[in-house]
Amino acid sequence: MRAGQVGGVILLGDRWTTEAAVAAAVARVQAVACERGSPLLVGVDQEGGTVRRFPWASPAMAAAHMATTARARSEAAAAARALRGAGVAIDFAPVADVSASAASFEGTRTFGDDPAQVAPLVGAFVQGLQSRGVAATAKHFPGLGSATASTDDRPVTIGRGKAFLTARLAPFRSAIAFGVQLVMVASASYPALDPTGVPALVSRPIVTDLLRGTLGFGGVVVTDALDTPALQDVPDVPGRALAAGVDLLLYSRERPAELAYAQLLRDAKGSPAVRAALAASATRVAALETWLAAHGGPVCKP
């Protein structure tokens, strides 16, 4: 952190039993980061229901039980108040996926199985978080509602057609319309959207052409976890994700993150294209940091 090799922290596991414990941990890492002059991005998966790292914070209910936009907005606002109190500025939520069947591995994590129903609920959740100064993250682009197995466990291919997948982009469009600050890209493959069959997070047709071009998203793109079995046979994931248009590389373990940093550093020294991609990502990340600071987020005092 002091050397500037870490841009952010994700809080995982079940150790975060009190707000005071989270606040103390965050304050400690931010103090170290501010020795280099800029705070860290600190995020958490606080969706509600089964994916809720902070048991003391909202939302207690799962997305599937937030039946109205008013409820989704109020639950997200309550979560944001708790996260802000603990020094956490990013929520890796809401899940903008649309369940395709009862066999979806996401279960109650999604708002429903109808894109027209899910879209306004996703937008309301984004609004609730960001109105209280916590950056929201629409995930898992371009949609994991058809997956019957988790990409955290194995490679997943979504074999649905282009029309089916395009219709289920409505919640992501809604999130973007509400100014969502981040979009998380899935590690599943979508042959109908990219015939090469590569995972979405290393696919330029999906990240740059579809998300940034067609949907017009200009914010920060973050990967789903890169140190998972789903990606173990994919070569040069960090470099390919960057080339696809991703800004933040997310890891759940220290060693893989360290190796990725070293690889990107080597690539940047020898490639003007890599340096240009890094500069573009740095600009978008800086805009996110500016937004967070303007909404009461972390800053380093002179």
Q: pTM for the whole thing?
A: 0.96
Per-residue pLDDT of 170-198, as tens digits, reads 999 999 999 999 999 999 999 999 999 99
- Does 256 reside within a domain? yes
Domain extent, residue 64, equals 8-294
Check if the beta carbon of residue 181 is closer than 8 Å to that of residue 218.
no
CATH number assigned to the domain comprising residue 290: 3.20.20.300
- Give the total number of structural domains in the chain: 1
Beta strands in the chain (DSSP E): 8-11, 41-44, 46-48, 51-52, 90-91, 135-141, 182-185, 220-223
Say which residues have a Cβ less than 8 Å from residue 151's Cβ, sequence separation at least 6.
140, 144, 186, 187, 188, 224, 228, 230
- Does 258 reside within a domain? yes
Give 61 or 4, the one with higher predicted confidence.
Answer: 61
Check if the beta carbon of residue 274 is closer than 8 Å to that of residue 268.
yes
The span from the CA of 140 to the CA of 188, in Å, is: 9
Query: CA end-to-end span of the chain, whole Å?
Result: 18
Task: Reply yes or no on whether the pLDDT at 210 is more than 90.
Answer: yes
User: Which has the closest alpha carbon to 230: 146, 158, 150, 159?
Assistant: 150
Per-residue pLDDT of 237-265, as tens digits, reads 999 999 999 999 999 999 999 999 999 99
The span from the CA of 97 to the CA of 137, in Å, is: 12
pLDDT of residue 229: 85
Per-residue pLDDT of 5-30, as tens digits, reads 889 999 999 899 999 999 999 999 99
- Does 190 reside within a domain? yes
- Measured N-to-C along each axis, helices 69-85 and 115-130 cross at an angle, to the nearest 10 degrees, of 30
- Does 17 reside within a domain? yes
Per-residue pLDDT of 94-130, as tens digits, reads 999 999 888 889 999 999 999 999 999 999 999 999 9
The span from the CA of 302 to the CA of 294, in Å, is: 17
**Average pLDDT over all residues of the chain:** 95
pLDDT of residue 274: 93
Q: What percent of the chain has pLDDT over 70?
A: 100
pLDDT of residue 108: 95
Check if the beta carbon of residue 186 is closer than 8 Å to that of residue 141.
yes
Backbone φ, ψ for residue 284 (5° rounding) = -70, -40
The span from the CA of 268 to the CA of 220, in Å, is: 20
pLDDT of residue 152: 86
- Does 68 reside within a domain? yes
pLDDT of residue 128: 98
Give 232 or 291, the one with higher predicted confidence.
Answer: 291
- Does 300 reside within a domain? no
- Does 192 reside within a domain? yes
- Does 299 reside within a domain? no
Per-residue pLDDT of 277-302, as tens digits, reads 999 999 999 999 999 999 999 999 88
> Per the structure block, which two tokens stand in for 65?
């039980």
Burial class (CB in 10 A: 0-12, 13-18, 19+), 252: middle
The span from the CA of 87 to the CA of 89, in Å, is: 6
Per-residue pLDDT of 54-65, as tens digits, reads 999 999 999 999
| Torsion angle of C-alpha atoms 147, 240, 7, 289, degrees rounded to 10 | -80
